[in-house]
Structure 1
Amino acid sequence: MPLTLYQRDDCHLCDLALAVLAEARVPEFESAFIDDDDDLEARYGVRVPVLRRADGAELDWPFDASGLARFLAG
Structure 2
Amino acid sequence: MNTIIKLYTRQGCHLCEQAMEILVDLQSEVPFVIEEVDIEKSDDLTERYGLMIPVVEWDGEEIQYGQVDKMFIYEALTTKK
- TM interval, shorter chain, is 0.7 to 0.9
TM-score (norm 1): 0.85
Unaligned 5+ runs, structure 1? none
How far residue 62 of structure 1 moved from its aligned partner, in angstroms, is 1.5
**Aligned match of 2:73:** 68
**Aligned match of 1:36:** 41
| Identical amino acids, percent of aligned pairs | 32
Count residues with an aligned counterpart: 73
TM-score (norm 2): 0.79
**Structure possessing the higher radius of gyration over alpha carbons:** 2
How far residue 36 of structure 1 moved from its aligned partner, in angstroms, is 2.5
**Aligned match of 1:22:** 24
Point out 4+ residue stretches in structure 1 off by more than 3 angstroms: none
Unaligned 5+ runs, structure 2? none
CA distance in 2, matches of 1:53, 1:14: 16
Task: Return the structure number with greater strand share.
Answer: 2
Letter in 1 for 2:76: F
Q: CA RMSD in A?
A: 1.4
